[in-house]
Structure 1
Amino acid sequence: MSEEMLTISDRIQHKLDDLTRAERQLALSILENYPASGLGPLTALAKDADVSVPTVARMVQKLGYKGYPEFQAELREELRAKAKNPIAKHDTWAEAAPSGHMLNRFTEAVIDNIRHTLGQIDPIAFDASCDLAGDTDRHLYIVGGRITHTLAEYLFLHMQVIRPNLTHVQSTSNSWPHYLLNAQEGDVFIIFDVRRYENNTLKLAEMAHARGAKIILFTDQWRSPVHQLATHSFSSRIVVPSAWDSAATTMLLVETMIAAVQNLHWEETKERMEELEDMFDQTRLFRKFT
Structure 2
Amino acid sequence: MTQPSSTVRELIRQHYSDLTQSERKFANALLENYPAAGLASITIVAGQTGVSTPTIARMVQKLGFKGFPQFHKALLKELQAKVSGPTERRANWATEAPESHLLNRFAKAVTQNIQTTFSNVPSEAFDAAAHLLADTDHTLFIVGGRITHALADYAFTHLQAVRPRVIHLTSSSATWPHYLLDMEKGDTLLMFDIRRYESNLLRLAELARDRGVAVVLITDQWSSPVAEIATQSFNCWVEIPSAWDSNVSTLMLLEALISATQEEAWPNTKDRYERLDRLFEQTRLFRKPGGA
* Structure 2 contact 163–265 (Cα < 8 Å) conserved: no
Q: 1:279: which partner in 2?
A: 279
Change (3 A) 1:97 1:276: farther
Letter in 1 for 2:273: M
| Secondary structure in structure 2 of the residue aligned to 1:170 | coil
Q: 1:148: which partner in 2?
A: 148
Q: 1:227: which partner in 2?
A: 227
Change (3 A) 1:274 1:16: same
Q: 1:189-204 maps to which residues of 2 (within 5 A)?
A: 189-204=189-204
Letter in 1 for 2:116: H
Q: 1:38: which partner in 2?
A: 38
TM-aligned CA deviation for residue 215 of structure 1: 0.4
* Structure 2 contact 190–215 (Cα < 8 Å) conserved: yes
Write the distance in 2 (CA, Å) between the matches of 1:278 and 1:181: 34
Write the distance in 2 (CA, Å) between the matches of 1:127 and 1:48: 39
Letter in 1 for 2:110: V
Write the distance in 2 (CA, Å) between the matches of 1:250 and 1:217: 11
Q: 2:167: which partner in 1?
A: 167
Change (3 A) 1:44 1:139: farther
TM-score, scaled relative to structure 2:
0.94
Letter in 2 for 1:253: L
Letter in 1 for 2:128: A
TM-aligned CA deviation for residue 52 of structure 1: 2.5
Q: 2:69: which partner in 1?
A: 69
Write the distance in 2 (CA, Å) between the matches of 1:153 and 1:111: 24
* Structure 2 contact 118–253 (Cα < 8 Å) conserved: no
Q: 1:58-137 maps to which residues of 2 (within 5 A)?
A: 58-137=58-137
| Structure 1: stretches of 5+ with no match in the other structure | none
* Structure 1 contact 142–152 (Cα < 8 Å) conserved: yes
* Structure 2 contact 209–215 (Cα < 8 Å) conserved: yes
Which string of whole-angstrom CA distances, capped at 9 and with x for unpartnered residues, describes residues 7-53 of structure 1?
21222222223323332333233223221221133244334544332
| Secondary structure in structure 1 of the residue aligned to 2:233 | strand
Write the distance in 2 (CA, Å) between the matches of 1:189 and 1:41: 39
Q: Single out whichever of 131-140 and 200-209 deviates more from structure 2.
A: 200-209
Write the distance in 1 (CA, Å) between the matches of 2:125 and 2:44: 33
TM-score, scaled relative to structure 1:
0.94
Write the distance in 2 (CA, Å) between the matches of 1:203 and 1:40: 28
Write the distance in 2 (CA, Å) between the matches of 1:32 and 1:2: 22
* Structure 1 contact 146–172 (Cα < 8 Å) conserved: no
| Secondary structure in structure 2 of the residue aligned to 1:23 | helix
| Structure 2: stretches of 5+ with no match in the other structure | none
RMSD across aligned positions (CA): 1.7
Letter in 1 for 2:212: G
Write the distance in 1 (CA, Å) between the matches of 2:26 and 2:53: 11
Q: How many residues align?
A: 290
Q: 1:236-247 maps to which residues of 2 (within 5 A)?
A: 236-247=236-247
Write the distance in 1 (CA, Å) between the matches of 2:25 and 2:111: 34
Change (3 A) 1:44 1:232: farther
Write the distance in 1 (CA, Å) between the matches of 2:276 and 2:169: 23
Write the distance in 2 (CA, Å) between the matches of 1:42 and 1:138: 48
